[in-house]
Structure 1
Amino acid sequence: MKVAVVGATGWIGSHILNEAKQRGHEVVALVREVNRVEDPDIEARAFDLTAPIGEMVDSLSGVDAVIASIGGRAKGNHDIVKQAAKKLLTSLSEAKIGRLLWVGGAGSLEVAPGVTLISTPEFPEEYKAEAIAQGEALDVFKQTANGVNWTFVSPAAEIFPGETLSKYRIGGEQLLLDEQGNSRISVSDYAKAMVDELESNQHPNQRIGVAY
């Protein structure tokens, strides 16, 4: 499968790109600066989320699926998350690419019926804007029906550097907790779960959560 990763030089995006490559997929890094992709086995294409739809469609030529890892923290522009969701759904539809997987957030997951993680007093203030933006992106996906098969993959509340354990659980709209009451996943296992979903396509047009 030819898989393009938006945000391929970021922390999560680079792990996903490497996981897909290790499994034998042909990978394309969609990045703002192609010279940041140093691996000669990875095709790098310039990709600007603020560009017109037509330019984005051209950059997606020949791709079978897209995985998007997008955040606004680096530039303090969280609006780009929701706008990117809209533009990618439109671009993929026009490019006749039927699969989009999205690196989501945990803030909109429920800790109790009708109670989201972001609404709890313990949720860190410094991550609220990012969590709100990801929740808005999820709403975009749920409200759009244009033939693109999407999956919004929320990590656990804590995603951390770590080795692949190859063990994780998949949930739905509820935050997954372990026996100690923690919600955790390593970035390596999150990347594994993302590529597993790419290959299995078990959760079309829905949000899932992954955690230990």
Structure 2
Amino acid sequence: MKIVLLAASGQAGRTVLSELISRGHDVTAVLRDIDKLPESIKRIQDDLSNIDKIAEIITGADAVVSAFGPAKDPRYFTDESYTDILEEVTKRIISAVQQSSVKRLIVVGGAGSLWFSPGITVLDSGYWPEEYKPIAKSHVKAFAALKESVINWTYFSPPMLIQPGVRTGVFRLADDNIIMDGNGRNWISFEDYAVALVNELESPKHEKARFTIGY
């Protein structure tokens, strides 16, 4: 498949990029600083600030994956008006996908809107760290923008904890409820998150829907 990966230099982006390449997909990586990736990778420099430019970049792709997230300067942990750039960029990407007639968009999402327990979201559970509330609220807004759109979207929420680890290929999926392991942890490695995302690209099961992952 021909895939355009937006914001390819972050932890999620790099891991998804590696998984896509390992499976033989034709990947174009879009990032603000192309020097963050080797020349052997097809790279395009862009900051996702212009709908027409995004549409030009993604035209002809089978699917787009967005791993965009605001840069983690001090405002990331305190200022929702700063993290709301996530919603703004997501809306631009939606418009670009519609303009370019790309058939699919998968978004690396957030965990805050997942159900922690019946009627209680992760964000409202009391277990979500205070410093990550701004970005969680911005993820909720970006998710809402996708649900209101007419494009073929998929929103892939990570668990409450996602960290570098091992690619096992063994995990569980759910729609809107967090998944606890045998020790009461809701977590996944970036590597297995990438496996599940590329699986979804290759064999769609959550079109115009959200899903999540856990061990």
- Paired residues in the alignment total 208
Tell me whether 186-195 or 62-71 shows the greater mean CA deviation.
62-71
From 58, 61, 81, give the equivalent of 1:63. Answer: 61
Which residue, 86, 90, 93 being the options, matches 1:88?
93
Question: Does the aligned pair in 2 maintain the 1:46–1:59 contact within 8 Å?
Answer: no
Root-mean-square deviation (Å)? 1.2
Q: What percent of counterpart residues are identical?
A: 34
3-state SS, counterpart of residue 153 of structure 1: strand
- Render the CA deviation track for 1:154-174: whole Å, top value 9, x for unaligned: 111110110111101110111
Scaled by the length of structure 2, the TM-score of the pair is 0.93
Asked whether the equivalents of residues 157 and 213 of structure 2 are also in contact (C-alpha less than 8 Å), the reply is yes
Aligned to 2:138: 133
**Residue number among 180, 185, 197 corresponding to 1:182 in the alignment:** 185
Aligned position for 1:191: 194
CA displacement 1:99-121 (0-9 Å, x = unmatched): 10010111110112221011122
Could you list the per-position Cα deviations for residues 67-103 of structure 1 after superposition, in whole angstroms to 9, with x for gaps in the alignment? Answer: 1111124244311111111111110111110110010
Structure 1 residue 15 corresponds to structure 2 residue 15: yes
5+ residue gaps, structure 1: none
Answer yes or no: is 1:44 the counterpart of 2:47: no
Alpha carbons 2:59, 2:101 under 8 Å: kept:
no
Q: Which secondary structure state, in structure 2, belongs to the residue aligned with residue 118 of structure 1?
A: coil
The structural deviation recorded for 1:29 is: 0.4
Q: Where does the alignment leave 5 or more consecutive residues of structure 2 unmatched?
A: 77-81
SS of structure 2 residue aligned to 1:71:
coil
CA distance in 2, matches of 1:102, 1:55: 19
Partners of 2:71 and 2:44 lie apart in 1 by: 23
The residue type equivalent to 2:178 in the other structure is L
Q: Is the 8 A contact 1:47 1:59 kept in 2?
A: no
Pick from 122, 128, 133 the counterpart of residue 123 of structure 1: 128
What is the SS of the residue equivalent to 1:119? coil
